[in-house]
Every structure is written in C-alpha cells, then in structure tokens.
C-alpha cells in the first residue's frame, strides 16, 4: 500500500497551525518546530486524518493548552517520542491539568522529568522503569502514587518536607525505603507502604516524624518491622493501621500502642507475634475491628488481652493455635458482634456463656468454613450449639 508521508518543515515564523491541508488526508507527521506558534489548535478537519501520529512543536511560543485546542492533535501527541529526558522542561510555562508521560526504556541517568511538574497537585508513576529520580520539591502536591510491579525508586530517595502533601501517598515495590523517608509532612493523612519488602528497625518514629495528622498507615506485606517503646509517639491521630503478613518483632512483649486512642482498625494477622504481655493493647479504647489471625498466645494471656477493648465489634483470631479460652476472655466486650475462631483447637466454648457477649451475632469456628449465626435470644446462654471440630461440647 502506498503511504503518503508528508513532512512539513517551517522555521520562517509560522504563527498558527490553521493551515490549508484539507487534502492531505494521509498525513502522518507534521513537524513545525522552531516557529512562533502560540496555540496548538489544529484545523478541525484533521481529526479525520487517521494516519496522523506525530506533531512536533518544539521551540515554539505555546504557553496555554486548552482542551478544545487538542481535539485534533491529542491523539498525535499520544505516542510523542521524547528521547531527551529534559525535553519536558519545555512544559514549565504551560498551564496543564494532566500530563501522562510514558517511559519505554530504562534510563541510564537519573530521571529529571519531575522538574517540570513542580507545581503538580497529583502525581502518579506507574511501572515507570526508573532507577533513579532526582529529588523534587513539589510545591503544591496533595496526592502521590508510586505503583510498580517490579522494583522502583522514590523521587530523590525520600519524600520529606512536602508540606502540602495531605491526601495520600501510595507506594508499592519501592526499594529501598530507609529510615527518615517520610518526615516533616505536617498535612499527610494517608500512607500506604504495603508490599515493599521493607525491613525497618524501631518503627515507627524512624520512618515517620513530623506527620501529626496521619490517620491511615498500611505497612502490610513487608519484610520485618521491629517496634520500640514510644514507637508511635507523635502519631496519635492514627485510626487505621495494617501490618498483616509483615513480621512484627517485639509487639507481643510490651504496650507499644498505648497512645493510639483513636485507633479503630488494627490488623496484625500473620505477623509472627507471640503475645506474652497482657498489656499489649493497653489504651486502645476505641478499637473496633481487630484482626489478629495467625499469631500465638503464650499461656493464658488471651484471658486478659482483650478485657479493656470495650468498643470491639469484630475480632478475628482464627488460626492462632488456641486450645483453651478462659470463660472471661471476652468479658466487657459488650459490643462484640463477630468473633472468628476458625482454625483453632478449642476444647470448650465456655466463654459463650459470659453475659457480656449479648451482641454476638456471628461466631466462626472450625477450619471447615462453618459459620454459625447466633441470634441474641440464644446468646449469651445458648443451650446447645453444634460445632464441628470441637473435641468436647458442654451445654450451659
Ligand atoms: C509569544 O506569545 C506572547 C503571548 O503569549 C506574545 O506576547 C509574544 O509576542 C509572542 N512572541 C513572539 C516572538 O511571537
Ligand atoms: C524515539 O526516538 C529515538 C531518537 O530519535 C529513536 O532512536 C527511537 O527509535 C525512537 N523510538 C520510537 C519508539 O519511535
Ligand atoms: C510554578 O508556579 C510558579 C508560580 O506559581 C511559577 O513561577 C513557576 O514557573 C512554575 N513552575 C513550573 C515548572 O511550572
Ligand atoms: C493494606 O494494603 C493491602 C495490600 O495493598 C490491602 O490488601 C489492604 O486492604 C490494606 N489495608 C487496609 C486496612 O486498607
Ligand atoms: C484495664 O483498665 C484498667 C483500668 O484503667 C487497668 O487498671 C488495667 O490494668 C487494664 N488492663 C489491661 C489488660 O489493659
Ligand atoms: C479472618 O481471618 C482469616 C485469616 O486471615 C480470613 O481468612 C478470614 O476471611 C477473616 N474473616 C473475617 C470475617 O474477617
């Protein structure tokens, strides 16, 4: 098939793209760099040019791009091949709402594309093949997403001092995340650092400081995190914290969380914790959802551990290898509605007789996916409950 390639080269002061090109329907490229063009508005008929794929506007005088300017040209800009990493510096004086920048090849030098986005409010880097990025002091940033399938890096290896960052930061597969990476971000509320293979000592003040408004912290699916006394100082606003499938060292030995009085949701499932201290959850008076599956309790620690968590509605302690629970283990838990004890080896369920459990509507037991809804009329003093997997059933 004959393809008509039209190259238009002008550097004699072209000021507009409104050219008489109606008949050039096979046009593929329009190169009009080094002119004085002020608007990238293309003639409307060009939207029917199916082969049009390249519009070179470098070194012109375009300072504003409006949506209606791009109707014909946007598809051509998509696929723009920028071989010079600094080329986006040309965007410095353009007021844009969104820029999507795709990188095809792994860069040999630190990427500097973010320099031109210093005023951006939302930045998303997805699967960028970026080994190194220079630190950019984003002046207006509110949300930052760094989502990689394989390992990627943080801009400038750290994100500190971004004073406007407030809504959220989500970063996956970042390596390495070092201590002090997230400091001095007074407005930050939401930080999701799940899935980063991170190893962190003396969490969490080593990772976060100067972030007094943080309410959501997700460190699940990481390597190993060790806690410290006072490790949550200055993070008093935390409401949701997720550590599941991250090995959390020392959590079972002392009460590291006692200042988290607003904490509503805590997930430490499969965190290789052995709870030895009954005060581990001291002070968590607003805790509502508690997922503690796949850990261990030493001796009869479970008898006291939950006693002051009076706001608890959802407790998942499945697969904790619990053989016995003292009848008063769930005393004071008057709001408890959902209790998951699946995958344990309980001999008795005396605790169900405890009068405080009057809200309990769902109890999951056995490893064979049996959920037995209990109506308030049979709790707290059910006459007989049939559970598979129990080696002994008592009636009350
Ligand atoms: C560039 O555009 C500005 C308006 O945005 C205009 O004032 C200026 O004269 C233009 N420069 C040239 C060389 O055309
Ligand atoms: C992009 O441009 C560079 C340099 O001009 C060239 O070597 C490369 O092949 C181009 N890539 C594509 C995908 O067109
Ligand atoms: C950012 O905004 C400031 C003023 O608001 C402006 O002077 C500066 O050129 C902008 N920088 C970029 C890279 O857009
Ligand atoms: C934390 O992140 C993991 C993995 O990205 C996700 O599955 C989980 O829902 C998040 N936890 C919360 C409480 O949002
Ligand atoms: C429960 O709260 C009481 C009263 O504040 C306190 O004396 C006790 O030590 C707490 N127990 C646990 C296990 O946190
Ligand atoms: C309880 O935890 C187990 C193990 O993590 C999980 O499979 C189950 O879906 C959880 N159940 C509820 C109701 O959260």
Q: Residue 260 pLDDT more than 90? A: yes
Distance CA 281, CA 268 (A): 12
For residue 223, tell me if it sits in a domain: no
Number of C-alpha atoms within 13 angstroms, CB side, residue 79?
11
Dihedral of alpha carbons 74, 79, 82, 85, sign: positive
CA neighbor of 266 nearest in space, from 294, 243, 296: 243
CA of 80 to the centre of ligand 2 (A): 10
Predicted local distance difference test score (pLDDT) of residue 59: 76
| 216 sits in which H/E element | strand 216-218
- Mean pLDDT for 315-340 is 93
For residue 232, tell me if it sits in a domain: no
Distance CA 57, CA 185 (A): 38
CA of 242 to the centre of ligand 4 (A): 7
CB-CB contact of 179 with 201 (8 Å) = yes
For residue 207, tell me if it sits in a domain: no
CA of 229 to the centre of ligand 6 (A): 29
CB-CB contact of 214 with 236 (8 Å) = no
Higher-scoring residue by pLDDT: 7, 287: 287
Least confident among 19-28, 130-139, 226-235, 365-374: 365-374
Which residue minimizes the CA distance to atom 14 of ligand 2?
81
Dihedral of alpha carbons 79, 81, 86, 87, sign: negative
Full domain range(s) for residue 37: 1-80
Which residue minimizes the CA distance to atom 14 of ligand 3?
92
Q: Which residues contact 272 (CB under 8 A, 6 or more apart)?
A: 247, 248, 295
Q: Is 271 in the pocket of ligand 6 (CB under 6 A)?
A: no
Q: Residue 383 pLDDT more than 50? A: no
- Mean pLDDT for 342-370 is 77
What ligand is nearest to the CA atom of residue 120?
A: 3
Q: Is 258 in the pocket of ligand 5 (CB under 6 A)?
A: no
For residue 217, tell me if it sits in a domain: no
Tell me how far CA of residue 280 lies from CA of 124, 253, 301, 304, in angstroms.
Answer: 38, 7, 10, 10
For residue 327, tell me if it sits in a domain: yes
Quote the tokens at residue 57. 């506007």
CA of 121 to the centre of ligand 6 (A): 37
Residue indicated by tokens 């990493």:
85
Q: End of a domain among 63, 80, 97?
A: 80
Q: Which mutation among 36, 37, 62 tests ligand 1's pocket best, with the greatest number of atoms within 8 A of CB?
A: 36
Distance CA 184, CA 203 (A): 16
For residue 356, tell me if it sits in a domain: yes
For residue 340, tell me if it sits in a domain: yes
For residue 69, tell me if it sits in a domain: yes
Q: What is the tens place of the pLDDT at every residue in 34-76?
A: 788 888 888 888 888 888 877 878 777 876 666 566 666 655 5
> pTM score, two decimals?
0.75
Q: What is the tens place of the pLDDT at every residue in 230-259?
A: 999 999 999 999 999 999 999 999 999 999
CA of 125 to the centre of ligand 4 (A): 19
- Mean pLDDT for 268-281 is 97
Q: End of a domain among 39, 57, 80?
A: 80
Distance CA 17, CA 40 (A): 7
Q: Residue 332 pLDDT more than 80? A: yes
Distance CA 119, CA 346 (A): 59
Quote the tokens at residue 203. 């969490």
Q: End of a domain among 80, 106, 129?
A: 80
Q: What is the tens place of the pLDDT at every residue in 68-97?
A: 666 666 555 554 445 454 555 555 555 666
Distance CA 267, CA 291 (A): 5
Q: How many domains does the chain have?
A: 2
Confidence of residue 385 (pLDDT cuts 50, 70, 90): very low
Q: What is the tens place of the pLDDT at every residue in 312-321?
A: 999 999 999 9
């Amino acid at each position: 098939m004959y393809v008509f390639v039209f190259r238009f080269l002008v550097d004699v002061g072209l000021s507009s793209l409104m050219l008489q090109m109606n008949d050039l329907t096979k046009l593929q490229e329009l190169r009009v760099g080094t002119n004085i063009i002020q608007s990238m508005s293309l003639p409307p008929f060009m939207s029917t040019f199916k082969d049009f794929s390249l519009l070179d506007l470098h070194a012109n005088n375009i300072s504003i791009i409006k949506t209606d300017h791009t109707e014909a040209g946007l598809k051509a800009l998509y696929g723009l091949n920028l071989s010079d990493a600094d080329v986006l510096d040309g965007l410095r004086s353009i007021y844009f709402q969104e820029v999507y920048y795709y990188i095809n090849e792994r860069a040999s030098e630190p990427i500097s594309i973010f320099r031109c986005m210093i005023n951006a409010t939302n930045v998303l880097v997805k699967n960028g093949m970026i080994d190194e990025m220079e630190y950019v002091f984003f002046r207006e940033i509110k949300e930052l997403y760094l989502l990689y399938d394989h390992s990627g890096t943080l801009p400038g290896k750290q994100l500190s001092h971004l004073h406007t960052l407030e809504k959220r930061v989500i970063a996956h597969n970042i390596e390495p995340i070092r201590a002090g990476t997230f400091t001095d971000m007074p407005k930050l509320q939401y930080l999701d650092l799940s899935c980063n293979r991170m190893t962190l000592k003396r969490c969490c003040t080593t990772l976060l400081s100067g972030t007094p408004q943080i309410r959501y912290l997700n460190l699940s699916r990481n390597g190993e995190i060790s806690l410290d006394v006072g490790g949550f100082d200055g993070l008093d606003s935390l409401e949701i914290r997720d550590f599941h499938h991250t090995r959390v060292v020392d959590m079972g030995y002392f009460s590291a969380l006692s200042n988290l009085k607003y904490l509503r949701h805590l997930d430490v499932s499969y965190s290789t914790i052995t709870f030895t201290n009954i005060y581990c959850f001291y002070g968590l008076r607003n805790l509502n959802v508690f997922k503690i599956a796949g850990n261990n309790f030493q001796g009869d620690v479970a008898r006291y551990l939950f006693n002051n968590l009076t706001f608890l509605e959802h407790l998942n302690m499945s697969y904790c290898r619990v053989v016995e629970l003292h009848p008063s283990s769930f005393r004071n838990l008057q709001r408890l509605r959902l209790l998951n004890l699946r995958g344990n080896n309980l001999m008795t369920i005396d605790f169900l007789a405890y009068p405080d459990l009057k809200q309990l509507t769902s109890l999951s037991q056995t490893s064979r996916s049996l959920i037995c809804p209990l109506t308030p009329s049979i709790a707290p003093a059910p006459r007989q409950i049939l559970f598979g997997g129990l080696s002994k059933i008592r009636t009350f």
